[in-house]
Structure 1
Amino acid sequence: MSGQLFLVGMAADGCVSLTSRAINSVVQSEVLVGSESQLAFFPQFDGIRIPYQFPINEFIAELLAQYADHDITILTSGDPLFFGLGQTLAQLSYPHQLEVIPHLSCVQQACARLGLPHQEMAMLSLHGQVNKARLPGLIARIQDCVQFALLTDRTDNPVAVAQKLVRYGELGWQLCLCEALGSSEERVTHWTPEQLAETNLDDINPMNLLIGVRQTQRPWQGCKGHQPDEAYAKRSPKKGLITKAPVRALATANLGLTPTSVVWDVGAGSGSVGIEAAKQAFKGQSYAIECNPECWPMIEANAIAHKVDNLRLIQAKAPEGLEQLANPDAIFCGGSRGQMPELLPLMWQRLNEGGRLVVSAVTLDTLAELHQLSQQLNLTPRILLLSAASERRIGSYTGYQGDNPIHLFIFDKAESAC
């Protein structure tokens, strides 16, 4: 487009608090776009008036194409670059054609009402997301912060958020519910998670922001990162179906995880590897793929205990169930149930470029099979042999009890042939 595009943030009071630059953008424009209530603040505008239509991205693209030679002002609320239309417009128009004239964001207004500094506050949004799980990864995302600001919507609303906090034992928060900020219906109230979880949703204004301030509870309940085997529920208390702590630590260290990684834990057992990966990839997604029904409640209980709502249980025998998952940045395979000839090439094919695949082998049969499959697929893994032992009492003495030796095959897609 060759015309000028203005994106103007407004408060609930309409034109009253707009700057002269914002007013002049409307005067200069030939097309004015906004909600019906926003357009009503400009009765003297005699150009083309267009109310918002949905889906919004398609509407904006068609608007810019149809009025490419016109000056356009698009009205929105608050700061358009804070979970607003700014990102969409920046992608659809050249930056030099777009001028953003922001108002105060809802977080700025809320923190001003509360007298709360917000330079270290985590900014999160559930507003208007589509094709997503309910409240995805919220609990994991707030573990390392002392304050959070959360934009909600009608589905992932403040009551649903509070109920999830209660379910995961996140009770050490003071919640500040800020409704209809800047309007005559403005209200700011304070809650515990338990109180808000029991509130009638109909009593809450849909235009709201939830502020959380950590009180006494420690992040990750003091259990961040690598944990001993005793920290996980297992099918049998002593041994259980679990990747042992030394192997788990070495395996996750070799997955090359980032905060946004997508991780598969294939043959998850108790879910321990997927859970510890989910803590590192707290902005990403971890999948625990397990076919044994006896393991499913253990995985779900462990995920709640370790506060990783970004871990999703897939009740299937791999490779079944993998087709529905996002391509991974990292895969740990702790068991294939005889499916390794089919599973290894599939995991390698689905693994993102730059990703890591770590496969454990306990038996000599699996070791030989993995070695042969690697050669057939023209892959050159690094192979580690881990033999660990832990102390045990022998009468009045202290000795060692060894675990089974484990081989780890580490495939790096950035280095191996495709």
Structure 2
Amino acid sequence: MTGSITLVGIGDDGCISLTSRAINAVAQTELLAGATRHLDFFPQYRGERLTFVSGLNGYLAQIVEAAKDKDICVLASGDPLFFGIGKRLLRLVGEADTQIDVEVITSPSSVQLACAKALIPSDDVKVISLHGRPMTGLVARLQQGDTFALLTDNNHNPVVIARHLLSYDETRWRLVLCEHLGGSKERIREFTAQELAATSIDDIESLNVLLLQRQGQAYWGGLAMHCPDGAYQVLTPLNGLITKANTRAVVVARLGLTAKSVMWDIGSASGSIAIESAKQAWNGQVYALECNPECFDVIEQNQMRHRVDNLTLVKSKAPSGLDDLPVPDAVFVGGSRGQIDPIVELVMSRLTSGGKLILSAVTLDSVSEFFDLCKSNQYHYEVVMLQSSVSQPLAHYQRYQAENPIHLFVITKEGNNT
């Protein structure tokens, strides 16, 4: 005998909005599984029950095991395949050693219900789940659209989210908080970021969806993906300690970043390379390593101004601190403080296959050193020499002001590099 699983999505209003097909699935099942609040909607059911209390993996494993010889109905919130248990349950069914038939009967998702209540078209809404996920990178992800639905949890609740928005000056949003959608305790409230940040957490129900609708909020704080040097706070009088804009554009382009890349910027100084990389890798992670305490505040100011909360400042002298970071897809070394050999050795041992390491050399000594380093290790590399000039006023005329030439050693990690 083989069993089956019917996964039924149910709203906070219980049986009222279920279809006859869903009701029949519950009535005919041999075992009814679900959270206590879902099972309580069916006091008339007299068959076997399986209550989810804690430990989702164990609960789903019990369901799959029981379904090998029983017909089971599983209750889940809204659309079970929309940030619900459906995805994980289907994977476990696929791994089972017995054929189990699965049917999914959905209800509207929480996001669909929220958009209807807020009169927001749902076809352009981007969904971000903060349920059991870090807040890091939320503001960077908000630069990718105009309307968002945030799925929250007790740690990343709407008040905490609003305070995070305020810390990055993301204030021009319409915030619609939708609680207990479809149920008797349903509540729809509209806030500004300031109002929601000042709200008591005790006044927020745990079952909620937070909608954000852009109201003239500029992307990246009005700053472009690639910015002129004047868009950055720099450390003076040490000539700014910034990779110049023309060089910066080439470096970030040659790093080959994707939206989800992990990038290290070693010797970050003002953080300009890290910041523009973070805008490219808006759904990834960027780490700016810097050991000069005078640069810390400069990097943090630039991070806030450019809205890159997916950037983390690591206050360390490389290679110290690198072992604790996630595996990088791209690395830029703008300063090594005499530690280039151990830095490159460690980076190449951890860099993903096909990943890029870019070393910048501004002195002839560094050029010679990096040539020897690449050749002795048989790295696959290319050298790009950049020399640019920028117009400057001279009385009633314009002249060119030459910038220092720079050599970029672009190293690609091949499969046999260590």
TM bin, normalised by shorter chain, reads over 0.9
In structure 1, the partner of 2:109 is 105
Mapping of residues 29-44 of structure 1, within 5 Å: 29-44=29-44
Q: CA offsets, 1:51-98, max 9 Å, x none?
A: 113231243234424653332222111111111112211221229733
Match of 2:196 in 1: 196
Q: Is the 8 A contact 1:380 1:416 kept in 2?
A: no
CA distance in 1, matches of 2:235, 2:57: 49
Q: 2:204 & 2:157 partners in 1: Cα distance?
A: 9
Q: Does 1:89 align with 2:111?
A: no
Q: Specify whether residues 63 and 195 from structure 1 end up closer, same or farther in structure 2 by C-alpha distance, changes over 3 A only.
A: same
CA distance in 2, matches of 1:100, 1:151: 22
Shift of 1:342: 0.7
Answer yes or no: is the 8 Å Cα contact 2:2–2:67 preserved in 1: no
Instruction: Determine if contact 1:333/1:360 at 8 Å carries over to the other structure.
Output: yes
Cα RMSD after superposing both structures:
1.9
Write the distance in 2 (CA, Å) between the matches of 1:116 and 1:274.
35
Alpha-carbon distance in structure 2 between the residues aligned to 1:28 and 1:264: 57
Aligned to 1:20: 20
- Kept in 2, the 8 Å contact 1:379–1:416? The answer is no
Separation in structure 1 between the aligned mates of residue 368 and residue 416 of structure 2, nearest angstrom: 20
5+ residue gaps, structure 1 = none
Contact 2:4/2:68, CA 8 A, preserved across alignment? no
Letter of the structure 1 residue corresponding to residue 92 of structure 2: L
User: Which blocks of at least 5 consecutive residues in structure 2 are unaligned?
Assistant: none
Residue 117 of structure 1 corresponds to: 121
Moved more, 394-403 or 136-145: 394-403
Offset of residue 307 of structure 1? 0.5
| Structure 1 residue 304, shift from structure 2 partner | 0.7
How many Å separate the matches in 1 of 2:55 and 2:273? 40
Give SS of 2:380's match.
coil
97 and 266 in structure 1: CA distance in 2 versus 1, 3 angstrom threshold:
farther
Question: 1:316-369, CA deviations, whole angstroms, 9 ceiling, x for partnerless residues?
Answer: 111111112111111111111111111112111211123222111111222122
- The aligned length equals 414
Q: TM-score, normalised by structure 1?
A: 0.94
Separation of aligned partners in 1, 2:189 and 2:220:
27
Instruction: Please name the residue that 2:48 is paired with.
Output: 48
Match of 1:231 in 2: 231
Report the equivalent of 1:148. 148
Conserved 8 A contact 2:353-2:415: no
Report the 3-state secondary structure (helix = DSSP H, G, I; strand = E; otherwise coil) of the residue aligned with 2:50.
strand
1:333 paired residue number: 333
Q: 1:217 to 1:346 in 2, by over 3 A?
A: same
Runs of 4 or more consecutive aligned structure 1 residues displaced over 6 Å after TM superposition: none
Provide Cα deviations, 1:187-231, integer angstroms capped at 9, x if missing partner.
Answer: 111111111111111111111111111111221222121001111
> Which is further off, 48-57 or 89-98?
89-98
Matched residue of 2:202: which SS? helix
Q: For residues 5 and 388 of structure 2, what CA distance do their matches in structure 1 show? A: 64
Q: Distance between the aligned counterparts of 1:147 and 1:182, measured in 2?
A: 22
Identity of aligned residues (%): 47
Q: Could you say which residue in structure 2 is the equivalent of 1:70?
A: 70
**In 1, Cα distance between equivalents of 2:2 and 2:384:** 60
2:184 corresponds in structure 1 to 184
Distance 1:97 1:274 in 2: 50
C-alpha spacing 1:241/1:98, structure 2 compared with 1 (3 Å)? farther
Q: Find the counterpart in structure 2 of residue 377 from structure 1.
A: 377
